Amino acid sequence: MSLDITFLGTGSAYPSPSRGASALVLRREGQCWLFDCGEGTQTQLMRSHLRAARITKIFITHLHGDHFFGLPGLLCTLSLQSNPDPSKAPVDIYGPLGLRSFLWRSLELSHAQLPFPYAVHELVPTRDQCPAEEFRDFSGLDRDGAAPQGPPGRILHLDPGEDSYLLLEDEQLVLRAFRLFHRVPSFGFVLEEKPRPGKLNVHKLKDLG
């Protein structure tokens, strides 16, 4: 499995002329997976060798603005580079509880129309992930039925046995999220390649003694 990592931004709090806010791209088999999307991420993408249209998954570590304020703008930029295709697989977005409401309301208020589907998969934090006075329960957002057109997606809870959240698994890898401890609920992501059986030429070994 070929993996390639590009740092688009390593700045903290706000972007600067010489360094973008948090954003990292992992390339895997022609796909791009974006981790965090601070302000200026789409500009940094234009300066890189990467193609924003290849982004298929987005992972947000936590809901501090320097890690996700660039996300609505990036999705709108992707919409300008995409042709309507209802059969296209959705862009999967993973992040803390509350991210779905933020994205839906941002796009709704700005009258943005995305020609591609997207899904928001929310990680439910535990109360010990941040100081008690900083913890906010976003589980009741939009329960009044005000967001019937909101994007689909899963609600993911911590697996106590694994102490992690299973995000996806295929024949090559397992991707999990785990809890980080910060001023607000935060998550790290671990991509683990599955063991691959090697190929052994028994006849060649016997010939070599």
Q: How confident is the model at residue 82 (pLDDT cuts 50, 70, 90)?
A: confident
Predicted confidence at residue 176, as pLDDT, reads 97
Residue 120, domain extent: 3-207
Predicted confidence at residue 145, as pLDDT, reads 57
pLDDT at 109 exceeding the cut of 70: yes
Distance CA 48, CA 40 (A): 13
Predicted confidence at residue 206, as pLDDT, reads 93
Q: What is the total count of domains within the chain?
A: 1
DSSP for 91-130, please give it: EEEEEETTHHHHHHHHHHHTT---SS-EEEEEEPPPGGGS
Exposure string of 23-54, with b = 16+ CB inside 10 Å and e = fewer, is bbbbbbeeebbbbbbbbbbbbbbeeeebebee
The residue-averaged pLDDT of 85-97 equals 88
The residue-averaged pLDDT of 53-74 equals 95
Predicted confidence at residue 13, as pLDDT, reads 85
Catalytic member of 4, 66, 92, 163: 66
Residues 131-181: pLDDT tens digits? 999 999 898 887 665 555 578 899 999 999 999 999 999 888 999 999 999
Active site residue 66: yes
Predicted confidence at residue 179, as pLDDT, reads 96
Query: Where residue 163 sits, what CATH number does that domain have?
Result: 3.60.15.10
Distance CA 119, CA 158 (A): 20
Distance CA 32, CA 3 (A): 10
Which two structure tokens, joined as six digits, stand for 134? 């900083």
Predicted confidence at residue 25, as pLDDT, reads 97
CB 177 within 8 A of CB 167: yes
Distance CA 72, CA 104 (A): 9
